[in-house]
């Protein structure tokens, strides 16, 4: 294999993936996705949709999940930097309600594999960021659920700088806690 560096996380199923980058005097080249290499690494997911978003510093999106049509996601940043978070919402999991976060940036080229039944969110740390992700199921309107980003029972340590003003969508300010959502 050799084209992917795989880091497993303390929460089973989550992986930080760093593709090999080839630099020369023209710039760089990297394979950002290769199904054969992913399968060798134990990821046998078929992705059916790619999404891209752009956000400014302080934008916090999440924590989102799909209720009836859960998606595996492979996320990365192609411009700027974000702090990306996954929260285990698998019923019966020994790590239910636990979170893991990783800095993803255009510079470090890291990708984050988030399996089905995890809530997902990110905070933009740079002045501007473009976020790209693959999904294993199509978007289904009305299927999205969420958990409040600052749920004290989850305790995510968002790296919010003193001079950073958080920007959330109206919807993201109205999600309930983990306990309320999965009562």
Query: pLDDT tens digits, residue range 96-107?
Result: 999 999 999 999
Q: By three-state DSSP, how is residue 53 classified?
A: strand
Q: Comparing C-alpha atoms, which of 79, 76, 57, 63 is closest to residue 159?
A: 57
Write down the domain spans for the chain: 4-181
Q: Kindly name the residue from 33, 64, 120, 140 that is annotated as catalytic.
A: 64
Catalytic-residue membership of 33? no
Catalytic-residue membership of 64? yes
pTM for this model (two decimals): 0.95
Helices (H), the chain: 35-40, 178-181
pLDDT confidence tier of residue 124, bands split at 50, 70 and 90: very high
pLDDT digits (tens, 9 = 90+) for 29-87: 999 999 999 999 889 999 999 999 999 999 999 999 999 999 999 999 999 999 999 99
Q: Kindly name the residue from 120, 133, 139, 140 that is annotated as catalytic.
A: 133
Averaged pLDDT for residues 108-122: 98
pLDDT digits (tens, 9 = 90+) for 125-176: 999 999 999 999 999 989 999 999 999 999 999 999 999 999 999 999 999 9
Cα–Cα distance measured from residue 104 to residue 123, given in angstroms and rounded to the nearest whole number:
10
Cα–Cα distance measured from residue 34 to residue 135, given in angstroms and rounded to the nearest whole number:
15
CATH no. for 4-181: 2.60.120.10
Contact at 8 Å (CB) between 98 and 128?
no
pLDDT at 1: 43
């Amino acid at each position: 294999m050799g084209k992917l560096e795989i880091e497993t996380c303390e929460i089973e199923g989550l992986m930080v993936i760093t593709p090999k980058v080839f630099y020369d005097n023209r710039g760089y080249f990297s394979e950002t996705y290769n199904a054969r290499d992913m399968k060798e690494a134990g990821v046998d997911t078929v992705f059916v949709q790619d999404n891209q978003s752009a956000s400014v510093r302080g934008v916090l999106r999440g924590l989102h999940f799909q209720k009836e049509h859960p998606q595996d996601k492979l996320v990365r940043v192609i411009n700027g930097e974000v702090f990306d978070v996954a929260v285990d919402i698998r019923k019966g999991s020994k790590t239910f309600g636990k979170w893991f976060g990783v800095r993803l940036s255009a510079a470090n080229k890291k990708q984050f594999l988030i399996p089905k039944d995890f809530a997902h969110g990110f905070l933009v740390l740079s002045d501007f960021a473009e976020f790209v992700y693959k999904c294993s199921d199509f978007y289904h309107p009305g299927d999205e659920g969420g958990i409040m980003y600052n749920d004290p029972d989850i305790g995510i340590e968002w790296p919010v700088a003193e001079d950073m003003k958080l920007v959330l969508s109206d919807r993201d300010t109205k999600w309930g806690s983990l306990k309320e959502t999965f009562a």
